[in-house]
Structure 1
């Protein structure tokens, strides 16, 4: 079971559940604890940190919603497999997208000036 240090700052304006969630998420995404490793029960961190078990349970629900952990009845709460990183587009993808945009906009009768204004506007958003 992972005993990675997670703390709650009672003077912080950030709610305790969010502090726990953010700290656990940061640890999980850096591989501590590792995929499949069991996390402490809701009552264990609550006893050590001071917040109510419901606060820790909310943090765990948020982590489960983010697909960082999985809870199974009788199996405890374990670190879920991290999703594969989304590959960054190579230089060919934006160029192909721009060509499709220009072709469709020209088919609608848009002038070059209108296209450039549209792109500049989208970049500013």
Structure 2
């Protein structure tokens, strides 16, 4: 198993976000198993031709999302994030549902708002 990153230079998506999304997807799919040791920030930056700050920003976002964990000098590893990510998603969904209900919207209207936000985010 190895980390595989491919950048789309014409996508309009920032390199740190492409890196974050690809590592997250590989961890979620199992292509990078729990406990897989990721390259150092400097090592990955050099390998990909990116600034170290770009890789560090992606790693910080991944750590905040529970996808990876840093163990000090021992390195950075893929975390057991499936359960944590699912809990965070459920919490976000519950908060959205509560807010939509308090604002007086029904399920159909809330779903339409979510789908529109998702389309806008994906565009």
TM-score when normalising by structure 1? 0.66
Whether 1:82 and 2:81 are equivalent positions in the alignment is yes
Give the conservation status (yes or no) of the 8 Å contact 1:21–1:62. yes
Q: Which has the higher helix share?
A: 2
Give me the whole-angstrom Cα distance separating, in 2, the residues matched to 1:11 and 1:45: 21
Q: CA RMSD in A?
A: 1.7
Give me the whole-angstrom Cα distance separating, in 2, the residues matched to 1:17 and 1:56: 6
Listed as ranges, the gaps of 5+ residues in structure 2 are 88-103, 111-123
**1:34-49 mapped onto 2 (5 Å cutoff):** 34-49=33-48
Q: Secondary structure at the match of 1:63?
A: helix
Could you give the per-residue CA deviations for residues 23-78 of structure 1, whole angstroms, max 9, x where no partner exists?
A: 00000001121111101111122112111011011000000000000011111000
Residue of structure 2 in register with 1:62 after alignment? 61
Residue of structure 1 in register with 2:8 after alignment? 9
Q: Secondary structure at the match of 1:74?
A: helix
Decide which moves more: 47-56 or 60-69.
47-56
Of the two, which has the highest radius of gyration?
Answer: 1
TM-score when normalising by structure 2? 0.66
Listed as ranges, the gaps of 5+ residues in structure 1 are 87-117
- Tell me the number of residue pairs that the alignment of Structure 1 and Structure 2 aligns: 91
